[in-house]
Structure formats: C-alpha cells, structure tokens
Amino acid sequence: MQTNSAAAPLDKLAFDNRFTREMPGDPITENSRRQVRQACYSLVEPTPVAAPRLAGFSKEAAALLDLSAEACLSGSFTSVFSGNALLSEMMPYAMCYGGHQFGNWAGQLGDGRAINLGEIINSRNQRWTLQLKGAGPTPYSRSADGLAVLRSSLREFICSEAMHHLGIPTTRALSLILTGEEVVRDMFYNGNPRSEPGAVVCRLSPSFLRFGNFEILTARGETELLKKLVLYTIATDYPHLKAVDSVATYIQWFTEICERTARMISHWMRVGFVHGVMNTDNMSILGLTIDYGPYGWLEGYDPAWTPNTTDGQGRRYCYGNQPHMAQWNLTQLANALYPLIGAAGPLNEALDVYRTTFQESWQVTMAAKIGLKNREPEDAELISRLLDLLRRTETDMTIFFRRLAHVGTGTGIAHDGLKLFEEAYYAPAQLDAVYGEQLNSWLQSYVSRLRRNSIDDPQRSERMNRVNPKYVFRNYLAQQAIDKAETGDFSMIDKLLEVFRRPYDEQPEHEGYGAKRPEWARNRPGCSMLSCSS
C-alpha cells in the first residue's frame, strides 16, 4: 500500500485514532478469515483498485473534515478515498462485532467489507471516523470478497446525505468512487449472477460502534473487555456522562441510547422511511441511521411494506414493525450489558423509557404532520381515521401529507377530497363514491378541528411543510441515477444531491423529482423491492 505524504490539503487532516490507541486489537496481522477473540478490531489495509474515478462527493460532508471542493476534486482525494493510498497518520482497521440477524444470533460478523481509515478531529473539535465501504476483504469477510457494486454504493451515498437534510440522525457520506473493476453479484439470489461496476463509498460518523460490538463480547464471556469498551464509548461518544465503573453510569448511558433510538425511529416513521434490515449489527450506539442496504420509502401507504426481498415473507422489518423491532434490538443490547449491571430491573426501566419516548415523540410528530399546534383528546381518533383511509387505497404518503397543507378553514369552504389529493392516488379508477364520502367526512372533521387550532392557515401550512417533505429519495429515482452512472454519466448524482439539500422547499424547477412512482417502476428490479446483494 502506497503511503501518500504529499496529499496537499489532505495532509492537514488531524488524525487522533483513539479507538486503536486505547482498545485492544487482534495480535494477528495476516488478512485471513478467522474468529477474533479478546480484541475489538483487526488491522487491515484497503485493497488497491485498477482505475479509480470520482463519481460524486458531498460538499457538506467534506466541510465536516475542513476539506474544500478543490481538495475533493484532486487526484490525491480519489486515490486516498478509493483505498489506493494511505495518508501517513492513517491506521486502517476493521471492527469485530456480532449480531442478531432476523431474530437469530449469528455469532461473529464484523466489518466484512468496511475498513476504517482512522479518526480525525476537525477545527470545531468534532471527532469523525472515516470508513471505506467496499474496499476489499478483512478477517471478518467470511466467504465474501469485501467489495461493493455501484448500484448499492450510489444508493448509500445519496441516501446518507438526503437523510441528513431531512433532519434524521444518520451517518454521513463523503464520496462515491468507481474502482474501474467489475464485481460479480447475484442481485436477487436467484441463480442469475452478473458483472457490475465496482465502487467504494467513504462514510463518516463520530463512531461506527453498533449494538453488536457489545453483544459479541458478552456472548464470548469477555466481560472485562466489555467493561473497557463501554467505558471507552461513554468517555468518547457520551462525554457529558462520567466514564466511571458504576451501575448508575451504565444505566444512565443505556437510557440515553434508548432515548436517541426512539427519536430516530420516530423520524423514520415521519417521512415514511423503511430501513429494511434492522439487525442488531445495523443499530448504531449513537442512535444514528446506519448501513443503507435494501431501504425504501413508503409510496403507497402500507404499514406491512418492506423493501427487502429477504424479508418479504415474514416482514419482520416492515414499516409498521420498526418501533417494535428497535425495542427488541435494545433488549438484546440490555442482555449484553447485563453482566455489568447484575439486575434486570434497571435495564427494564430504561427500556420503558424507549417506549414512552417513542410514544410521546410519535404523538407530537403526527400532530405536527396534520398541523395541530395544540392537542386535544379526540386528536388520536382523527389521526386513526386518517391512517385507515390511507390504507384503503394505494395512496402516496409523501404527496398526501404535503397536499394536506392546502386545506383551508374559511367559512363556507367545502373540500373535494378526491380532487385535492388526486396527485397522490396510484389507482384513481378504483376510487368509488363510498371512499369519496368517507374522505370528505374526514376532511369536515379535520377542518372543524383546525378551527380550534391556535394558529391560522398560512402559519399551519408553513409548519406542516417543515415536517412533511416534498422530496424523498424514491427507489425509482435511485435506479435512474444508477442506470446513468453505469454509462459514465454522473449528472443525476449531482442533481439529486442538489434537490435533497432542500427537501422541504417547493423547488418548482425540480418538480418532477417530487412525483409519485411511475407505473413502469412498479415491479422493475431496483425500483420496488431490493435484496441485501451488494
């Protein structure tokens, strides 16, 4: 691996590398697949690629590293963030963790195709870990090659930044770089593999620690290392807490994880985001959205919808199950922390905090989505009736709630619901008179409720448009960008990044990016459901 000591602006990155400095590593340096014990990471270098080519970068993510656009367009940037060169202070490594996958303990998993380059401290004293995804095999790759394809990499790159601008806690994405090499993948695991362009994404996060980092240590009985990792995490990522070895500290920390996770899930539900693979190894210890695999946004409002083909039968991780599955995952983390606590009661109390935090957050969120500033007891029934209506016919969630802000409350105003929301319906021919009457009845109740609201129509509309996005990263938009990028045309990547910088603004010049899924995309691979193949 080449060490790049003349990387111009890149050499100003101030590496700290606290994780590898303070936590025990794997004493074996050979990059061979193995079980790694009594260690939190293994040193491993990225695999160089043939012909790296920058396909896109996020100027906002670059600013977190104090990097200019000029630096991101340099050859050094492409070389470093494709894995072809290391800066002198980088110490690349892959993490060891386990996890529950679809409800079953899977044992050791680890960073099978992710390699952390190191941690930097920016000019605002913020810590950011730089991670390459798709940069080659690690000791945790098992039988895989550690690589990633353009298809999944583009989706992760754009979605990470889109989620940030939607106001959702998330890891970030700095760059998308094609490798110039082909990677063979069977997209739907149906015996039809094909070659696809390879790519590497550079992801950023204050920490990439997951629930599974703690689970693996408890599963192996490595309690002293578990304690050391917990105290490290508190000191590094929760510095407002005192990193002392006490049950009170551990419970305070776990309670805050529960609160952060509850708020994250409430945000997912607010915008109709479905993660698709909420395994415990995909749950961030910081309450961030992490690992964008087979995700998607609700188009037709269906709480049972999942974007993941692997989950198509059980629908464990469907939209409506996400709050429950987050609590299930937190319970597994509680089990992992039990050796440090020695009692179930305090952990169960913290889990109750998750439940109450989510319920309160969700009530506030739904009130905001329909424009209610003050809350009344009958609001729950009003919201329940609305969600029932959305389920009765294929209704685009994003467009419906955006259009709801147009409802007026002036005297004598009568709304024709089918006309008002016509842009949101996927099968308008199926809308009969009975549905129209039920919708108009709900609108009458809604208008009556709004007239008791403490804000006027313009204020309400403006507030609703701050929580109901106009633009979300629909799967068909991703597939269109992928199709172009596979021909070497990266223009749609830049365009989508531009649109998603202001997802709550009208942006008339980009109106087409807010349209509902076209019919041609209903069953097209990549536009409806996806797999974990990458």
Where is the domain boundary, 158, 174, 208? 208
**In this structure, are 158 and 304 located in the same domain?**
no
Distance, in Å, from the CA atom of 81 to the CA atom of 245, rounded to the nearest integer, reads: 38
Q: Is residue 470 part of a domain?
A: no
Please check whether residues 128 and 35 belong to one and the same domain: yes
For residue 95, the model assigns a pLDDT of 98
Q: Which of 208, 233, 256 is the last residue of a domain?
A: 208
101 assigned to some structural domain: yes
User: Which amino acid, residue 12?
Assistant: K
Rounded mean pLDDT of the chain? 95
My answer on whether 144 and 266 are in the same domain is no
* Residue at 216 is within a domain: yes
Share of the chain above pLDDT 90, in %: 91
Residue 509's CB is within 10 A of a number of other CB atoms, namely: 9
User: What mean pLDDT do residues 298-311 have?
Assistant: 94
Please tell me whether residues 337 and 229 are part of one structural domain.
yes
In order of 53, 146, 291, 355, the CA distances from 279 in angstroms are 32, 19, 10, 19
- Which active-site residues does the annotation give? 281
Indicate the SS3 state at residue 385.
Answer: helix
Per-residue pLDDT at 312:
86
On the question of pLDDT at 5 being above 50, the answer is: no
pLDDT band for position 188 (cuts 50, 70, 90): low
Q: Stretch 245-270: mean pLDDT, rounded?
A: 98
Q: Provide the pLDDT confidence category of residue 9 given band limits of 50, 70 and 90.
A: confident
What is the count of structural domains for the chain?
2
Q: What is the pLDDT of residue 492?
A: 98
Q: Is residue 518 part of a domain?
A: no
Domain endpoint, select from 322, 341, 369: 369
The whole-number average pLDDT for the span 501-507 is: 98
Residue 1 has pLDDT above 80, yes or no: no
Residues 127 and 218 occupy one common structural domain: no
Kindly state whether residues 200 and 223 are assigned to the same domain. no
Q: How high is the pLDDT of residue 7?
A: 43
For residues 199 and 115, membership in a common domain is answered with: yes
> Is pLDDT of 484 > 60?
yes
11 in a structural domain: yes
Q: How far apart are CA 204 and CA 459, in angstroms?
A: 37
Q: What is the mean pLDDT of residues 151-157?
A: 97
Across 244-269, average pLDDT: 98
**Whether residue 170 is found in the same domain as residue 303:** no
Res 321: pLDDT: 98
Residue 476 lies in a domain: no
Q: Is the pLDDT of residue 83 over 80?
A: yes
Pairing of strands 296-297, 273-274: antiparallel
Cα distance between residue 502 and residue 242, in whole Å: 38
For residue 180, the model assigns a pLDDT of 97
SS3 321: helix
* pLDDT at res. 446: 97
148 and 271 belong to one structural domain: no
pLDDT value, residue 6: 37
Which structure tokens are listed for 308?
């993941």
The answer to whether residues 245 and 360 belong to one domain is yes
481, 154 in Cβ contact below 8 A?
Answer: yes
Residue 101 has pLDDT above 60, yes or no: yes
Say yes or no: 173 and 281 in one domain.
Answer: no
Evaluate whether residue 443 is within a structural domain: no
Tell me: the pLDDT tens digits for 417-461? 999 999 999 999 999 999 999 999 999 999 999 999 989 999 999
Residues 28-47, mean pLDDT to the nearest whole number? 97
In whole angstroms, give the CA distance from residue 520 to residue 526: 12
The domain in which residue 343 lies consists of 212-369
Q: Would residue 150 count as lying in a domain?
A: yes
pLDDT at 534: 54
pLDDT, greater one: 525 or 332? 332
Tell me the per-residue pLDDT of 320-356, one tens digit each, with 9 for 90 and over: 999 999 999 999 999 999 999 999 999 999 999 999 9
Q: Are residues 337 and 216 in the same domain?
A: yes
Query: Is residue 4's pLDDT more than 60?
Result: no
